[in-house]
Structure 1
Amino acid sequence: MDDFQGKRVIVTGGSDGIGKALVERFLEAGAYVATCGRSADKLYQLQVRHSNKFLHTMVVDVRKEEDCRRFIESAIREFGGVDVLVNNAGISMRALVQETELDTLRTVMDVNFWGTVYCTKFALDSIIANKGVIVGVSSIAGYRGLPGRSGYSASKFAVNGWLEALKTELLPSGVHVMWVCPGFTTSNIRNVALNKKGAPQGESPLEEGKLMSAEECAKQIVKAIGHRKRTLVMTFQGNETVWLNKLLPGLADKLVHKFFFKKGELVK
């Protein structure tokens, strides 16, 4: 899988951020790419930009099972099968548990977890037939619960566990299942992260200019897919958090709290 020339790749949530960078990297590598998103305008702009490449797009809300079915089936019709599925579509949140409305948690879980389940389930027969790769774009929040991101952490823990179970089931099949965990990456995900009322917060609490770029993130993900890595945890801070949480969870609690809170208020 080091060479993606002619490979049939599906990337969900490809109209922005890491997803868009993944789409463009796969296209540059000669792959046939199908992607989806909720913005028809952004998908149209992507299609125009790559009009000379094999790019198939569709407006999809991954919370909806039927949308996912239509998208996966259309990609399979268009390209004749699937070799790589990257479940990238996702949404974040930023609100304390005590203040968060339950619908906000449901929305995050529906997008991040059920979107991954739906698309994987509908693509699975074709991926098994082609001994392909299934990828979940997860998060450090899938290894360590983060304050202000309770629903996001829950959804990413669920994605990691579900994919690990699937990976184990498919061991004899030749299918590779993996999950990748970017650290804080420059993207629109924090601007559209849901607040306690379930509305986009409209701003980022982090210094975006100091974060890993979406393009660098995509480069690392595609390389990991090519090498069929089991997992990929990006950034020193991400690896430090994962290992500290395993070895010294009590200390991790204190350090994570210190990072996210200032004078008792959630600041990141």
Structure 2
Amino acid sequence: MTYWKDKVALVTGASQGFGKVLAQQLIQHGCHVVLAARDEHKLSATASELDADGTHTYCVPTDVTNDDDVLRLLESVQQKYGRLDALFNIAGISSRGLVCETSIDEFLCSYDLNVLSAVRCVQAARPLLEASQGHIVNMGSLASKSASKFIGPYAASKFALAGINHQLRLELADVGIHVMLVCPGPIAREDAGTRYAQQASDLPDSAAKPGAGVKVKAIPPQDLAAMVLKGCEKRQTEIVIPSKARLLFAISQLSGAWGDWVLRRFTSS
């Protein structure tokens, strides 16, 4: 019997990418998984692929930037299962661009999807998670700790998410809710190197690369998902991959100039 058997987990951004891989591993561990994403057709296709007989999945089409949608999502979880053991805030958006050339609307979009969506879900899920003394996992990035050039509003929103996560960790400790921030480098994907081609067309070639050219190896999503689930079991506060990135973060805290120098050394031009 695994830790996750017969537990109930909610995964946002579950129809593709890392959210889909994480949902798959939860299902393999015997967990009941609520799949949430905006596109109903992609969500249904994902559920059919991961759980053909529908035993372990429940699809709730949801726009996590919409207050009413999020409230309906958690009401559906309450009605279907009467409990919730883990909330995985995976939905998000990344970008390429220069801060001085990025519109305020783009900043607001990034902030809403990368930060406020997690706040909405946490606020709605808190009663159920307090009852189960469950888990909140927020999907950050190495950009939650150290900005890179050419990533537009992404770092600003991921830094904000890290701040929210820290506050939640302190705020919810007394009621037994575990809060964890996951800060990975680039996650391996089929469209790596091409997904930002249009956004980065006027930027150096490195901007279109995974991690905006930071020299770190892409992380297999299956490996990261396993680390996340194990981190929940151990009630870790944070996961940073690769772990050597912590050295850069420490140097940056001591000296911004030194941190910038190290970052430039490990970023392709």
- Tell me which interval the TM-score lies in, with the shorter structure as reference length: 0.7 to 0.9
**Distance in 1 separating the partners of 2:200 and 2:106:** 7
Matched, 1:224 2:231: yes
Which consecutive aligned stretches of 4+ in structure 1 deviate over 4 angstroms post-superposition? 188-194, 258-261
Unpaired runs of at least 5, structure 1 = 198-202, 263-268
* AA aligned opposite 1:64: N
User: Structure 2 vs 1, CA of residues 204 and 14 (structure 1 numbering), >3 Å: closer, same or farther?
Assistant: farther
- SS of aligned partner of 2:94: coil
TM-score (norm 1): 0.86
How high is the sequence identity, in percent, across the aligned residues? 28
TM-score (norm 2): 0.86
Deviations 1:181-217 (A, max 9, x none): 11111136876569389xxxxx95239xx51111111
**Distance in 1 separating the partners of 2:265 and 2:19:** 31
| Mapping 1:1-20, distance limit 5 Å | 3-20=3-20
User: Structure 2 vs 1, CA of residues 78 and 213 (structure 1 numbering), >3 Å: closer, same or farther?
Assistant: same
The answer to whether the Cα contact below 8 Å between 2:192 and 2:209 also exists between their aligned partners in 1 is: no
User: Structure 2 vs 1, CA of residues 89 and 246 (structure 1 numbering), >3 Å: closer, same or farther?
Assistant: same
Choose which of 83, 86, 89 in structure 1 pairs with 2:85: 83
Aligned twin of 1:51: 52
User: Structure 2 vs 1, CA of residues 112 and 128 (structure 1 numbering), >3 Å: closer, same or farther?
Assistant: same
Aligned twin of 1:123: 125
The answer to whether the Cα contact below 8 Å between 1:140 and 1:242 also exists between their aligned partners in 2 is: no
- SS of aligned partner of 2:73: helix
**Distance in 1 separating the partners of 2:192 and 2:63:** 16
Choose which of 235, 240, 256 in structure 2 pairs with 1:233: 240
- SS of aligned partner of 2:84: coil
**Distance in 1 separating the partners of 2:193 and 2:224:** 16
Deviations 1:87-143 (A, max 9, x none): 111100100112111111111111000110111110011111111111101111111
Aligned twin of 1:138: 140
Aligned twin of 1:205: 209
The answer to whether the Cα contact below 8 Å between 2:102 and 2:152 also exists between their aligned partners in 1 is: no
**Distance in 1 separating the partners of 2:194 and 2:88:** 23
Unpaired runs of at least 5, structure 2 = 202-206
| Structure with more contact order per residue of length (Cα contacts < 8 Å, sep ≥ 6) | 1
* AA aligned opposite 1:29: H
| Mapping 1:17-32, distance limit 5 Å | 17-32=17-32
Aligned twin of 2:204: none
**Distance in 1 separating the partners of 2:99 and 2:28:** 42
* AA aligned opposite 1:233: V
Q: CA deviation at 1:247?
A: 3.5
